[in-house]
């Protein structure tokens, strides 16, 4: 990868770019087939950009559903038909033994799975529902999770491994709220969403713990736009749904949706 292209990625992303280039070179020069772990949307964007500049390589992305956020990538020489290749996706179906005692959310399911020592890269999208949850997982860890996962948020659960064709997907729920902020800057909106002072929100942003549209963003003054998705490590994520008119006091009306 040329130095000029490196200038367009955050330093934290360069290790992934190097790995992606190795995958692409393996396919182009050595006719290798590579199946990656689950990649987040920013990694998928980088991989697609790199693949577009490599004419001898084909890629296929699969996350189990048409609107999947996290996907595995199959990378191969361009002459190979990837439609018939198995992305090795499996569904872990989780059913609480008793749903009366707690509302179990996305973060609870993810925390329980990661608490078993599973890497995030082995887990795809998490689809919570009122009667349980379907999690897309790498096939190689499905049996382990089926054996070991017995509790989510202090609630006993039953598990079952299902083929990916039986995935019951669900859209992420957004808890909408309206704010008035001094400006549409990242630090202004994020401090209100996460209920932190403007001074305190600066440290995690400048430390690289904030992502805007899955890309590390260290500039607190970055102006957010409608549709932007913001995440702060350890605090969850939200989407800017609408940036409205100014109030009489000169503040911006902003509608956000926090992922629950």
pTM across the whole model? 0.84
What three-state secondary structure class fits 238?
strand
Model confidence pLDDT, tens digit, residues 146-175: 999 999 988 999 999 999 999 998 877 788
Residue with tokens 């090795």: 88
CA distance 164 to 168: 9
Structure tokens at 138: 């790498």
4 pLDDT more than 60: no
The average pLDDT across 1-15 equals 74
Residue with tokens 């020069």: 29
Which region holds residue 212: left if phi is over 0, alpha if psi is between -120 and 50, else beta? beta
The pLDDT tens digits of the residues spanning 12-31 come to 899 999 999 999 999 999 99
pLDDT of residue 7: 76
Mean pLDDT score, 122-137:
94
**pLDDT attached to residue 104:** 87
Mean pLDDT over each residue of the chain, to the nearest integer: 93
Quick: pLDDT tens for 33-92. 999 999 999 999 999 999 999 989 999 999 999 889 999 999 999 999 999 899 999 999
Quick check: 222 pLDDT over 80? yes
8: pLDDT strictly greater than 90 = no
Instruction: Please say if the pLDDT value at position 127 is more than 60.
Output: yes
Q: Could you tell me the residue ranges of all domains in the chain?
A: 3-77, 89-166, 174-259
What are residue 39's DSSP bridge partners? 71
Q: In the CATH scheme, what is the code of domain 3-77?
A: 3.30.1370.160
CATH fold of 174-259 reads 3.10.290
Task: Select from 174, 40, 121 the least CA-distant residue to 113.
Answer: 121
Rounded to an integer, what distance in angstroms lies between the CA atom of residue 243 and that of residue 227? 10
pLDDT at 192 over 80: yes
Closest among 14, 36, 13 to 24, alpha carbons compared: 36
Q: What is the Cα–Cα distance from 225 to 256, expressed in whole angstroms?
A: 11
What is the pLDDT at residue 3?
55
3-state secondary structure of 169: coil
Question: What's the first-to-final CA gap in the chain, in angstroms?
Answer: 39
Four-CA torsion 64, 68, 70, 74, nearest 10 degrees: 50
Structural tokens at position 73: 């990538």
CB atoms within 10 A of CB 229: 17
Mean pLDDT of 236-257: 94
Topology of domain 89-166 in CATH is Alpha-Beta Plaits (3.30.70)
């Amino acid at each position: 990868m040329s130095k000029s292209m490196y200038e367009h990625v955050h330093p934290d992303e360069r290790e992934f770019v190097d790995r992606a280039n190795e995958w692409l070179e393996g396919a182009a020069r050595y006719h290798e087939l590579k199946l990656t772990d689950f990649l987040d949307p920013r990694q998928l964007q980088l991989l697609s950009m790199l693949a577009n500049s490599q004419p001898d390589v084909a890629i296929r992305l699969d996350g189990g559903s048409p609107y999947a956020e996290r996907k595995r990538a199959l990378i191969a020489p361009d002459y190979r038909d990837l439609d018939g290749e198995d992305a090795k996706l499996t569904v872990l179906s989780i059913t609480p033994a008793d749903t009366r005692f707690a509302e179990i959310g996305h973060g609870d399911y993810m925390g329980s799975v990661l608490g078993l020592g599973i890497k995030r890269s082995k887990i795809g999208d998490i689809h919570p529902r009122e009667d349980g949850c379907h999690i897309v997982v790498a096939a190689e860890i499905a049996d382990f999770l089926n054996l070991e996962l017995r509790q989510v948020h202090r609630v006993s659960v039953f598990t079952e491994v299902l083929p990916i064709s039986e995935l019951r997907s669900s859209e992420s729920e957004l808890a909408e709220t309206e704010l008035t902020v001094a400006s549409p800057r990242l630090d202004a909106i994020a401090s209100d969403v996460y209920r932190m002072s403007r001074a305190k929100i600066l440290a995690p942003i400048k430390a690289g713990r904030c992502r805007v549209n899955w890309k590390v963003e260290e500039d607190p003054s970055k102006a957010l736009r409608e549709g932007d998705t913001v995440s702060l490590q350890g605090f969850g994520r939200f989407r800017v749904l609408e940036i409205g008119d100014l109030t009489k006091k000169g503040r911006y009306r902003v509608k956000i949706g926090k992922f629950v």
